[in-house]
Each structure stands twice: as structure tokens, then as C-alpha cells.
Amino acid sequence: MDRTAATSGVPVRSGLVSPAAAGAPRAETASRPRLGAVARPAGAGVLSVRFGPGPGAFGVGQPLTAHLNHPVPQGDQQARVAVERGLLVTSVPHAGGSWHWVDARTLHFRPPSFWPAHAVITARGALDGVKITDGLYGGGSGALRITTGDRVEAVTDVARFSMTVYRNGQAIRTIPVTTGKEGYRTRTGVKVVLEKQPAIRMKGESIGIPKDSPDAYDLDVRHSVRVTWSGEYLHAAPWSADAHGRQNVSHGCTGMSSDHAAWLYRTLAPGDVIRVLNGPGSKMDAFGNGYGDWNLSWPQWQAGSALPPSPATEHTPAPAAPRMAPLF
């Protein structure tokens, strides 16, 4: 089934220093040095930055976010350059990457491909005292540190009614599934796990289905892994057991047996990668309904930056396991 009630929740390109010498990974700085700080005039506004998603361990698909307390309009290129140069990202091992402006207050950062497994990633602000505009100057900002675990990806082939889960490039389980039926097709493309809920009530009214409709539902659902804010999940669907591996009958979610769902719930973590292939559903939005950042090609992603592409990011080698890279 698809959406429960909607939940609110919801980067000018950076240069990089050279990768580490062979055998000795080191951090790369994903921003050019900040502009020189100056004395802030009396009465000037102060721009602060809040980094996301928050400290902790995440999957390799987790983008970084930067939320500004003042808008920086798209047309003010010089101001956006100043902001982006003051948003510093480092990772060990080296990953490369770029900021992308989602809107006037929000930027996302991601590498060309997913983060390396078992990486340490840090974001920090270097905007204190930097002039953004005549009436706006940078202020202090806290830092963010996250880590990644194994590279875990769940790939659903809609046409084959099947999901295969990979860990570090190796298939570890194949699960018969059912996805969205006509009128409720599951979104295709790359998604990222947002959160997990052991039990949740899902009702058709939350997506506009009247109570007296043949499509109406009101269910207590177990082992739910959320991938969109509008309510697309991977979850246990014992009521549709006859369709698993045979037919797509859901309202947009990916359903499976209770045993498989319990295992998947234990296996996946926020930031892990979900891919949906070979289906007729619309493509996952890049922004606004979860983390669809990976549905933009690398050139498309870099086009959302106010800085020119860095040669270091344009020549990032392809991942060793091509099937684990985002598909476009």
C-alpha cells in the first residue's frame, strides 16, 4: 500500500584536494578555502547553517544536508559561491562530492557514487565573518560527524515480482514481493531508507481513497521500512501472500511475507539504498519526498552548484561493483 498521512521531514560545487597516496586513505576537503573573514557591520544579518541528518551511523546512500536560516536567492550567484565555499566536507576514505542547491535555504551533498562503506564523514561551517551580501554575514555553525556501515542495497525488479538484497556487492537474500497495482504504481529509481517503524496503522483515507471504495483499506502493518515521506514502505503483507512473487496488488508499497519482512527490518538501516527497476511507475523525485538525490546523474547534480566542476570530481573512478552503482 502507498501513502499514509504526509509527514514533514524532510549545495555551488566544491573543489577537492588530491586523494591519498596508495594504501593510505586520507580526508579530502570538499570545499575551497573560505573567503577572508571581516568585521561584521552593526545591524547586519547573521547566516547560520544546520547540518543534517544528525550524528550517527547511516547507510552509504545518505546525503548530507545544510539548512540556512536566511534564504540565498538563485539569482545571487556571488552570495551562493560565498556560502558554498564555507561549507566544508571531509571523508575518510576519499569520496569526492559536490553540494547542490535544492532551494534558497537548503543544500544537499553527495559523492558521484555512493559513500564508501565504513567511512567517516564530517561537515562543518567556515562562514564566521564571511560577507554573503551587503546586509548578511556568516556566523558560527556546529559540525556534524556521521559514519557508514556495510554497503547494503535492496533491489526490487517489479517485472519479476522479486527483491534481491546485497551486502558489499554480494547477494544475501532474494525475496518474493508484490508492488503497486495499476493506479498505485510503486515509484521507480533510487530511494534511501528514512526510518523504520515496528508497527503502523495504514488507512486508505490518508491517500484520498473513500471508506466505501473497493480499494479502501485499514490495516495494522508490521516491520515497516519507510522510503518516502508520503508513505511508501517496504513491509509485511500477509494478507496478499498469494500474490507474492506472482502479481502486483499493493497500493504502492512493497509487500512480502512476515518472515522476510522481519529479516529485512533487521537488515536495513537509515541511509541504506533501495532501488526499484523495470516497473511502469513514475520516477522517484530527486527532492521533497525523501532522499531521491541519486536519481540525478553526476552532471545533473553538479549543475546545481554555483561553482564550476572540479577536475578531481569529474575523474572519480567508477565503483568496483557496477551493479551497486545508481542506475540512470
Tally Cβ neighbours within 10 Å of residue 42: 5
Distances from the Cα of 230 to the Cαs of 9, 84, 137, 225, 248, in angstroms? 10, 30, 36, 13, 20
Quick: pLDDT tens for 103-140.
999 999 999 999 999 999 999 999 999 999 999 999 99
Which of 204-208, 210-214, 265-269 is predicted with the least confidence, judged by mean pLDDT? 204-208
Rg (CA), the chain: 21
C-alpha 17/C-alpha 20 separation (Å) is 9
Give the contacts of 74 (CB within 8 A, at least 6 positions apart).
80, 101, 104
Give the end-to-end CA distance of the chain in Å, rounded to a whole number: 26
Query: Read out DSSP for 113-126?
Result: SPPPTT-EEEEEE-
Q: What torsion, rounded to 10 degrees, do the Cα atoms 247, 251, 256, 257 define?
A: -100
Q: For position 69, what pLDDT does the model report?
A: 97
Pairing mode, strands 144-148 and 56-58:
parallel
Query: Which positions are catalytic?
Result: 235, 253
Over the stretch 27-66, which tens digit does the pLDDT of each residue have? 444 444 444 556 677 778 999 999 999 999 999 999 999 9
At 99 the pLDDT is 98
